[in-house]
Structure 1
């Protein structure tokens, strides 16, 4: 069985590629751009079941060639940022890329299972409740353009499922763990700022809530979705619901350091975000905090993964266990000190 994986150069995609190849022994073809950083992946010489093809999800012909002869597709490629100077990239990649790949799969006619990596953002905020897979984004507002693009793409995926595409949609929560420190690994970025003194207090007053999930658990959830997931079904790959305040408290206990002594109001964070955006437009370096990030923090994003536990045997670890693994890894790399 040949598996096509998009997004293998990213944080989650790279972890998924390694697990498919080295842990589960599958044959994997990855679609990457010529400029992609593949340093976190095994080389084809050491992992003979790895095949690299070059292309882009916005290039239909490259997707058509990449999907040819594959029986399973993992579509994990996405632009994952809270803010970009050119928001059209969210839609050309996150929406257009999915549309292109779905059409390529229809044309090649060999794919038996299509695993699409969506996001909890596609389901929308859960203010006042804990949501499950039945939630559909209310579309009354969007905190970020990323959120909007994933909600639109979610509708496209569900429509494809209704038309007979063997698609399984998975919704990771806030992913954290060892690996690339990218926008997809936002917890690591915040902990780096916290332990290096650039984020001296709590962000807000703990009114935010997110569903945190370890990257290795999300990876195993993806593979379980391929092996056990039913076409047309949606599965939340989330974990412990908690605030960023609790994340910082748990990290302080594990590291044996003091907890933050004060709270930074969100309006201060937002003002800093606007300054960061202005600096970003000059330097070209994307900001860690931007106004859309603060909009997200003003809402709750709590979800239940009970369906995934029942049907996929999904077993996410708690924050305390997960962070106890992450902090020593970050310390060993010199990313943080404690």
Structure 2
């Protein structure tokens, strides 16, 4: 098959592309003109298409002779969308891809996030039946919700699309490094004297990539599938890193109410130092999560499997070491 992958050089994209190529597919990688692919896809036989998701003509041209599209491109930040770029990339870019797929009758696999759905109430298990988080205070989460809405609106008009919702990605093939990798490295290096209270779902990037390919093959039109893994608290993450690396990590936990109280001072310090804030209101919001995020639907309908999370963290730190980051 001839396949287009947007964001194909990124954190998840490069793993998906590798798996597609291994299966004998011809892959075109849609990039925004950056050169990340020169490292993340070095030696992988792909066609590079430098385009612009916000240019409908560019998107249409990228779909020439394509059988299926994997839309993984997104702008991920846990900070305010000051310049509107998060909305433009995540919502308008997605809308352009979806509309072009509908016009050309091409199947679309859209990569969203489980954060695109309303996480409240926190005391009940979270699955694909939650409502879209259209009023979420975090721009990234909110834009992913609106992107899903765009997809589903076009499904009602005939678009053949399936949606996948990964958890927070952990594992190897992290070339940038990612936001999470930087945080884990700081924790391992003892740069964080304390950690915040909170929970997050961690999913191995290799398992998520497998799930995305399964969704393309078996996913039902108009359905979404959680591709999540294991829920861990920050203390559990800290303990796991200490066990894997042998490095002593902090066990001091700051409650979220205290973190919120410190926000004004963090902003002032960041402005004085000319650096990004150590944490933001959006980060604190993202730290709140249901205790359980369920991926049973993907297991039953797609055959999705999540490996032990300890293996994923170990492989992550093996990767960081090989990259010379630790």
TM-score by length of 2: 0.90
Name the CA shift for 1:138/1:301 in 2 (closer, same or farther; >3 Å).
farther
Aligned residue among 185, 189, 195 for 1:196: 189
TM-superposition CA deviations, 1:230-270 (whole Å, max 9, x none): 21111100011221221111111222233423223335545
Distance apart, 1:123 and its partner CA: 0.8
Distance apart, 1:143 and its partner CA: 3.3
Gaps of 5+ in 2: none
Give the equivalent residue in structure 1 for 2:58: 62
Name the CA shift for 1:58/1:174 in 2 (closer, same or farther; >3 Å).
same
Give the equivalent residue in structure 2 for 1:258: 248
Which stretch has the larger CA shift, 33-42 or 164-173?
A: 33-42
Distance in 2, matches of 1:277 and 1:25, equals 50
Aligned residue among 86, 105, 114 for 1:90: 86
Give the equivalent residue in structure 2 for 1:145: 139
Q: Is the 8 A contact 1:118 1:154 kept in 2?
A: yes
TM-superposition CA deviations, 1:119-174 (whole Å, max 9, x none): 111112141111111111354x4231111111111111122222221101000001
Distance in 2, matches of 1:286 and 1:16, equals 31
Name the CA shift for 1:262/1:281 in 2 (closer, same or farther; >3 Å).
closer
Aligned residue among 95, 98, 101 for 1:102: 98
Pairs aligned (count)? 325
Distance in 1, matches of 2:278 and 2:253, equals 18
Alignment of 1:64-83 (within 5 A): 64-83=60-79
TM-superposition CA deviations, 1:308-338 (whole Å, max 9, x none): 11111111112212112112222333323xx
Q: Is the 8 A contact 2:31 2:49 kept in 1?
A: yes
Distance apart, 1:273 and its partner CA: 5.6
Name the CA shift for 1:275/1:67 in 2 (closer, same or farther; >3 Å).
farther
Distance apart, 1:78 and its partner CA: 0.5
Give the equivalent residue in structure 2 for 1:37: 36
Distance in 2, matches of 1:241 and 1:150, equals 21
Distance in 2, matches of 1:171 and 1:42, equals 24
Distance apart, 1:12 and its partner CA: 1.0
Name the CA shift for 1:216/1:273 in 2 (closer, same or farther; >3 Å).
farther
Name the CA shift for 1:55/1:279 in 2 (closer, same or farther; >3 Å).
farther
Distance in 1, matches of 2:73 and 2:266, equals 26
Distance in 1, matches of 2:273 and 2:17, equals 33
Which stretch has the larger CA shift, 299-308 or 212-221?
A: 299-308
Q: Is the 8 A contact 1:272 1:289 kept in 2?
A: no
Which stretch has the larger CA shift, 61-70 or 282-291?
A: 282-291
Name the CA shift for 1:280/1:94 in 2 (closer, same or farther; >3 Å).
farther
Gaps of 5+ in 1: none
Q: Is the 8 A contact 1:3 1:72 kept in 2?
A: yes
State the Cα RMSD in Å. 2.5
